[in-house]
Every structure is written in C-alpha cells, then in structure tokens.
Structure 1
Amino acid sequence: MTNPLIVIAAIVGAHGVRGEAKLRAFGDAANVASYGPFLDKDGKAILTPKTARSSGGEAVIVSFKEPVTREQIMAMKGTLLHVPRSALPEPDEDEFYYTDLIGMHAEHMDGSPAGRVKAVHDFGAGDILELTGPDGALFIPFTREAVPVVEIAKSRLVINPPEAINADDEGVEG
C-alpha cells in the first residue's frame, strides 16, 4: 500500500488577529497539531502547526510556525488539511481509517460478491459504506451487525445488510 493522504481537519475561520486558525478536526482534536505539516490534496505543505488548544466547543485553535495573517487564514477558509497515513497512529482493534476501507472487496454472508467499497460517508447518524457491485450502488450502515467481518490485511469485508423497509409497512403513503 502506498502512503495515502488523510484529511484530518478543515479550516473554519480565523481566531483573533495573530494568525491563529479555527479548525474542525476529523478525529482526535487534541492531537491535530502533532502529525507534522498540514498538506494540500497533492501533498504540498501548506502550514506547519505549532500549538493547538480547545476552543471550548468543537473547534480547535491552532497557531503556526509560518507567519500568517488573519486575512490569509480567512482566505483559506474551507481548506482541507491532510497528513500522510503513516503519520497517524495505528487504530485500535475494531477501529478503521476510512482510507483503509476504500477499495476493499465486499461479499455477502453466503460468500457471493457484493462489490467494492467506493466511499465511506458520515452524514451525522453513523458511518455508511457505499459499495459498487453487480447490482449497482449499495449503501450499508457500518455497524457490527451489518458488517460483521472486516479483514484489513486481506482487503475483505463481509456484509449482512439489514432488510429493506417497505414504506407501506410503516404507514407512509407514497
């Protein structure tokens, strides 16, 4: 496997007038500044974090080694910040980085092919795996019940999709 880039944060705005930024961390906010320089999607260094502290909310306030102004930070609002996968700690058992799941082969409980993992989505109610396969797109909740087997080393997972809900059975008129 190559060393893919992982998005760990996004710039959501400036903080104060001394070139600090508010970041939305996608993962461990306390360690967002400890993984080395922030890179763009092509691997080019953008900024090097110096310190990070909690904002008291969901944001993290980060200062940088490079001299940057409030205006420069505001111009970067929305920028995704990447680091190499190798800079991150290995996940605990039963935890996965999205990038490790992308491209994995999926099969049904009976061993029949279900496709490949195209993407992992988080719309706020839990992770969803998007599979592409012989029957087109399939969206599976990423839970132990729906995905009982994940074998990163074999690039394989087994799915047990929940049964489809028929709108008429729920009293919803269509």
Structure 2
Amino acid sequence: MNAPDAGQRKNPERMIPMGRLHGAFGVRGEVKLESYADPLRAIARYQPWTLRDARGNERLCEGAKVREGVKGLIAILPDVEDRDAADALRGTEILVPRSALPPPAPGEYYWIDLEGLRVVNLDGADFGVVSHLFNNGANDVLVAQGERERMIPFVQPAYVHGVDFDAGVVTVDWDADF
C-alpha cells in the first residue's frame, strides 16, 4: 500500500465518510441515520452531503433535517417522501469534503488524516502504514499494515508517542515481535 503524500492526506476536497443511512423510519419517508460525528447530531452541520449507494452511484443532498429519535438519529431528506424511497437508501454512505470539518484541537487528529502515515516504533522498526483506525469499545486502535497487520492501541503517550505530519510518521512504543 503506497502512502499518500501530505497534500493528499490534507486535501480539503477529499471525501470522507460521516455516516450511513439504515433504511426507513415510519411511513413518511424519514430515514434512520448512523452518524460518525461527535456529537452525533453535528452531522447536520456538514451539508451538503454526498450520498453514495452500494453500487458507487453518488448524488448531492442539500437541506437534510436531522432530529433525535428514541433509538438514534432520524433524517428527513429532500425528495424522499415515502417509506419505499427511504428504504431504498438502506446502506447509503454520507460523505462530506474534508474542508467541511473544523480544524482539530492541538494534540487531536482526524482519523482520515492519519491514514497513510508510516508507523515506526521507538527502535526504528518500520510497521508499514496506517490503513485505518477503529474503536473497540475500550479505546481507539490504529491498524498498521506492513509485512503483516498490527493493531496498536491509540493511547497517548502509553503507546503512541507522536504524530509528525511533516515527516509523515506515527511513532509508537510497540514491540516489533508483538
């Protein structure tokens, strides 16, 4: 896997996933919405959205309204007027340009910006590049893909000692044999 250069990582027009639609809610065209934003309802601020279906077809969505339901977020999308139209959106990704996000606070990172950075340990062993991150319920986990895959808790400073965007490197305290 080739690491993107710093310009590509921070490309303001790079589309990033911010949520997913999970099918109809009720009979009036409302849609169940999974948000990756923090707080969850903040997804409404990042419009217009690009909606990408399972086949890769994309369309622009402007003017979506988001409300909190008992079990999560509910969206009302323009031109979605009945249950069948809402259910047809099941699995659709919500994408926004990287430029729509506010700058992260000092010492914080957007996961998307870490993808493609080289991962090295304190002894200089190269673990490959960050392929992705995920949350396992206890903490965030950085996945480094090199000669093999390594999952490293993204806990600072215990395991992650530094992120240097200029050098394109994440430095970790992790045994090369683990």
Q: TM-score, normalised by structure 2?
A: 0.78
| Counterpart check, 1:39 vs 2:50 | yes
Q: TM-score, normalised by structure 1?
A: 0.80
| Counterpart check, 1:60 vs 2:73 | yes
Which residue pairs with 2:31 in the alignment? 21
Q: Distance in 2 between matches of 1:85 and 1:126?
A: 24
Which residue pairs with 2:5 in the alignment? none
Which residue pairs with 1:48 in the alignment? 62
Report deviation, 1:55: 1.4
Report deviation, 1:53: 1.5
Over the aligned positions, Cα root-mean-square deviation in angstroms equals: 2.4
Aligned length: 163
Question: Which amino acid counterpart does residue 153 of structure 2 have in structure 1?
Answer: P
Structure 2: runs of 5 or more not aligned:
1-7
Q: Distance in 2 between matches of 1:100 and 1:155?
A: 10
Which residue pairs with 1:96 in the alignment? 109
Structure 1: runs of 5 or more not aligned:
166-174
> 67-76 or 3-12, which moves further after superposition?
67-76
Q: Distance in 1 between matches of 2:81 and 2:171?
A: 48
Contact 1:5 1:43 in 2 (8 A): no
SS of the residue 2:87 aligns to: helix
Given candidates 149, 152, 156, the residue that maps to 2:162 is 149
Contact 2:51 2:61 in 1 (8 A): no
Computing the radius of gyration over CA atoms, which structure comes out larger, 1 or 2?
Answer: 1
Deviations 1:140-172 (A, max 9, x none): 11111111211234321101127989xxxxxxx
- Aligned-pair identity (%): 29
Given candidates 117, 120, 139, the residue that maps to 1:126 is 139
> 41-50 or 69-78, which moves further after superposition?
41-50
Q: Distance in 2 between matches of 1:10 and 1:138?
A: 27
SS of the residue 1:93 aligns to: coil
Q: Distance in 2 between matches of 1:43 and 1:154?
A: 36
Q: Distance in 2 between matches of 1:162 and 1:16?
A: 51
